[in-house]
Copies of this chain bind each other. A is one copy, B any other.
Amino acid sequence: MKLTLKEIAHKIDGKVIGDETLEIFGVSSFYDAKKGEITFASDPKFLKALGRTCAGAVIVPDDFDIVPKESVNDKDNSALGFDEKIILPLSLIKTQNPKRKFFRILSFFHPSKKPNQTIAKDSVIGNNFIHGYNLTIGHHVTIGDSVKIGDNVEIMHGVYIGDEVVIGNNTLIKPNTTIMDRTQIGSRVIINSGTVIGSDGFGFTQDSLDIKDASGGGGVNEKIPHAGFVQIDDDVEVGACNTIDRGTFGRTWIQKGVKTDNLVHIAHNVIVGEHSLIVAQVGIAGSTVIGKRVILAGQAGISGHLKIGDGAIVGPAAGVLNDVESGQIVSGVPAMPHKLWLKVASILSKLPEMRKKLIALEKNINLKKINM
């Protein structure tokens, strides 16, 4: 597989600065790229280091004002703020948003494998199955009754799909995933392996009466039946080994464009707003509402029944016990405004010194008292 720079430029609405006939055989990162490969540079840090990549070509921003090849050894170069070592044996493609365009070229060189559009004979499918064109079902899959699936869907090895599940078009369910009954999944959704969707929420009723009873043998935590379901809207990607519980009644709702990383826990009746990003090992307790375009950084924990406003950012490992306003950035345990947390965090390590000073001051003052 190869492309000339001209062909690449055409694919990404770019303009070649250099050799249009250069042949590119692959993509790589800035410092790993070799002669026949293309990479990208979108921020000054990399743009200034253009002379240090061994790539054959680099995708750069539209407005990048490079010194023309011919004058590269001129003193003007450093005047432009570039690394003095830039002696560009490489070609450039100027375009908008180089990073995104680069990933398009990456997709060209590493196309995702086309599903085989067959239904494995060892898969088991229930009654009243309705499905669209180009369905792929892998081996050892079980699909329940009254399931409805759209076009171009791929369901990989070992997946379980319960009764009355609905799946849209172009959705991919990776191996060994569990989708419990009545889950609703939109189009262009990806569910990564090991994930469980529609498990029962962690809900139990407990009362003093029963605790007395229990000494006689009864259980004290009676399971609350979970009559709700999970709804996952279009363009969502759910990471590996996530657990998304069904609603007690009503739905747990992952809205359009949300992306979750691995080992994320989303409890019953949570709503995650459009295009929010949930990083690895985050936990969200029951009935909390996450707004749109929110970012929850890794290992953050969000208590139940809270409201996290649109565009809010929660820092890594933060412990959120109260509502967060739209656009706010919070960090720490308990979560506080991020700027405040930065100060607090920097003072934490000075606490021993502060304590010493405080004790010294106290003595000092007491001494004075005595002296007076």
Contacts and interface: CB of A to CB of B under 8 A. Distances in A.
Contact of A222 (B27, B103, B285): B103
A136 interface: no
Interface residues of A, number: 114
Given A140-B140, A245-B262, A299-B319, 4 more contacts: A28-B250, A157-B160, A280-B283, A347-B351
Q: How many copies of the shown chain assemble into the complex? A: 3
Interface stretch (A10-18, A73-81, A199-207): A199-207
Interface stretch (A44-52, A107-115, A127-135): A107-115
Contacts of A192: 196, 199-200
Interface string A93-124: 00011011001001101101100000010101
B259 A281 contact: no
A156 interface: yes
Interface string A254-283: 001101011101010000000101011101
Contacts of A303: 316
Nearest to A276: B221
Contacts of A23: none
A103 B224 CA distance: 6
Interface of A: 27-29, 32, 96-97, 99-100, 103, 106-107, 109-110, 112-113, 120, 122, 124, 138-140, 142, 156-158, 160, 163, 174-178, 180-181, 188, 190, 192-196, 199-200, 202, 204-205, 207, 209, 211, 214, 219-225, 227, 235, 237, 239-241, 243, 245, 248-250, 256-257, 259, 261-263, 265, 267, 275, 277, 279-281, 283, 285, 293, 298-299, 301, 303, 316-317, 319, 321, 332-334, 336, 340, 343-345, 347-352, 354-355, 357-358, 361-362, 364-365
